[in-house]
Amino acid sequence: MQLQLGEKIRELRQRDGRRQEDLAIALGVTPQAISRWESGGGYPDMEMIPSIANYFHVTIDWLFGYNDAREIKINEILRRTNDELASGGDLTACVEFLRSAVHEFPSESALWLNLGLALSAESLRRIPVKSKRQDKDGFLSYDTAHNAQNPMAHEAIEVLERALTMAQSPDDRKKAVLSLTIHYATMGMYDRARELAAKQSPIDASREFILTYATAGEERALHNGNLLLILLRLLKLSLVWGLSTDTDTRTSEYGVQTLDQLIALYHQIVPDGKFGVAHGDLSDLHVFAAITAARLEDRSRTEHHLDMAIAHRTAYDEARTSNCITYTAPLLRSIMLDGRILPPHTLHPFAAMCKNIPKPMQEELKKLEKYRPLFAD
């Protein structure tokens, strides 16, 4: 018990970013006493155990290692709310559920992160972000006066800022940073957005990039393949953002052709059509190409891209049922992953994107049964 208790105290202290001196002051003991407990050279008086548990917001049972029920409950909360976050629907109940969860488990950073992400998504569902034409050059900017009137978005910022200070994993930090940056920018807090962005590593210093230098042989091929898929996804996002920001190019032949060329690049890298997780990216690209073609009143190309988007969405959903996704494309053949861990690519956000197709074209497309679900209210 002695060794386990000391390990738990050290684990909790490091989790919360506390120094031994901080804990010593809170408990009224010396830092040397804390050091002895953590190294197994002694243990605190039993009368002090409740104070230690309260300090770290855990139960006494957890301190002594009897935490199975607690961990099971937290993992179930995360599983349920991760599924709800991926659904893209009404998250009102999810938000309230997570508010109760962080009240019960205030030291669990993953719960705070999910609450922040749920507040973020629900705030945008209730009051969508608005943009406006910025200048004569045709670039769009955020309507910050409108967007700043969203009280749930302000709450999301507060929660995400807290989650960021608590986050243990790089992936959790990334989620918090991305969501915070978007909220800062859409609400006109550009200085805070830039400050947060400046603290992040450049692309060529990322974990995925450095791993290609840190390894050799087949392991390097694996990391290089993963990096290639990530870079393709980033290129997709950058292109979509660029077309969305420039009102002229997003309604131009240039816009459609540029999207088509990026789609062709995916096919060049994966010539056998076994795209795995990239089916989701291709589905998104075809939707945006369909929207751009529809703005040009090109019915044929709009239907082609919608058909391809649906096909890739279906293939992505099928990949999610596989316990081992493999690639045969030369640059990706070392990659293997469990498709069951992939998030769902649900119809709701797909349909939400399709709402950007001009109304007259929507009415024409609704006449065909296969497209009606895309425009359902």
Other residues' Cβ atoms within 10 Å of the Cβ of residue 238: 11
User: Which residue, among 213, 237, 219, 144, has the nearest Cα to 184 in the 3D structure?
Assistant: 144
Question: Does pLDDT of 347 surpass 60?
Answer: no
For 100-145, write each residue's pLDDT tens digit.
999 988 989 999 999 999 999 999 989 988 887 666 667 788 999 9
| pLDDT, averaged across the chain | 88
| 131-133 and 325-326 strand pairing | unpaired
Q: What is the pLDDT, as a whole number, of residue 3?
A: 45
Tell me yes or no: is domain 69-198 CATH 1.10.10: no
pLDDT band at 59 (very low <50, low <70, confident <90, very high): confident
Q: Which residues of 358-367 are buried (b: 16+ CB within 10 A; e: fewer)?
A: eeebbebbee
What's the average model confidence in pLDDT over 65-90? Answer: 80
Looking at domain 2-66, its CATH superfamily turns out to be lambda repressor-like DNA-binding domains (1.10.260.40)
Instruction: Write out the two tokens for 25.
Output: 């002051």
What is the residue extent of each domain of the chain?
2-66, 69-198, 203-375
For 270-299, write each residue's pLDDT tens digit.
999 999 999 999 999 999 999 999 999 999
Which tops the pLDDT comparison, 346 or 163?
163
Q: What is the pLDDT, as a whole number, of residue 272?
A: 94
List, as one string, the DSSP characters of 254-279: HHHHHHHHHHHHHHHHSTTS--TTHH
pTM of the model: 0.73
